[in-house]
Chain A
Amino acid sequence: DQQVKQNSPSLSVQEGRISILNCDYTNSMFDYFLWYKKYPAEGPTFLISISSIKDKNEDGRFTVFLNKSAKHLSLHIVPSQPGDSAVYFCAASEELKGGATNKLIFGTGTLLAVQP
């Protein structure tokens, strides 16, 4: 039972255009969401996050949007660059008692290819 879903295994966009990666979740107790980027033969690296009390967070070319009623979040990359080509994972966490842990649940990933 996947609590975090990325329904698009891959996405191809032209350099300079917008990339939109989508993520859906089922657990209404999730209150913090993150996006990670992964290059081949490397570990995932943190990209951007958003708390459930917000609906948008922006960091340079990267913006994450959260729609709590739809249990949906998306990552927008504008403008897309060839170096953005990687696998993107969304992840979600639920604050447990004491807030002492951040057990992240990950989606299956979307492979983004940015064509020069």
Chain B
Amino acid sequence: NAGVTQTPKFQVLKTGQSMTLQCAQDMNHEYMSWYRQDPGMGLRLIHYSVGAGITDQGEVPNGYNVSRSTTEDFPLRLLSAAPSQTSVYFCASSRGQHNSPLHFGNGTRLTVT
């Protein structure tokens, strides 16, 4: 059971570079989301999607773009990386019902210098 797979595990970028964090799930979940984890801040929601073709903003969406062309994939794009985006990023998915627990990937640790 792969569950939620995130790639890469680690990434170092220079300020201004762009990159895409990949997320794929094989559980046929409708709901997918991206969180970032920073010391003392917990997990903060960046963007989420309730199904293919539908995305919406979370608590901290600035500097990030998402798209959802398939049920399985939900990539997160940084168009022009900034040091403030240094963080650990987690992708998560669920069946989407209100009381469905989220299943998380193992994270991508991103450093922007």
B-contacting residues of A (Cβ < 8 Å)? 4, 6, 9, 32, 34, 41-46, 49, 51, 89, 91, 93, 95-96, 99-109
Pairs of residues from A and B, 10 with the lowest C-beta to C-beta distance, nearest first: A43-B104, A46-B101, A108-B42, A106-B43, A95-B98, A99-B98, A106-B42, A43-B106, A44-B104, A101-B50
**B48: nearest chain-A partner, CB-CB:** A103
- Chain B: residues with Cβ within 8 Å of the partner, total of 29
A-B contacts, 18 of them at CB < 8 A, read A4-B42, A34-B101, A43-B104, A43-B105, A43-B107, A49-B99, A93-B98, A95-B98, A99-B98, A100-B50, A100-B97, A101-B31, A103-B45, A103-B58, A106-B35, A106-B44, A108-B41, A108-B42
Interface of A is mostly: loop
Q: Does B27 contact A (CB under 8 A)?
A: no
> Do B42 and A43 touch across chains, with their CB atoms under 8 A apart?
no
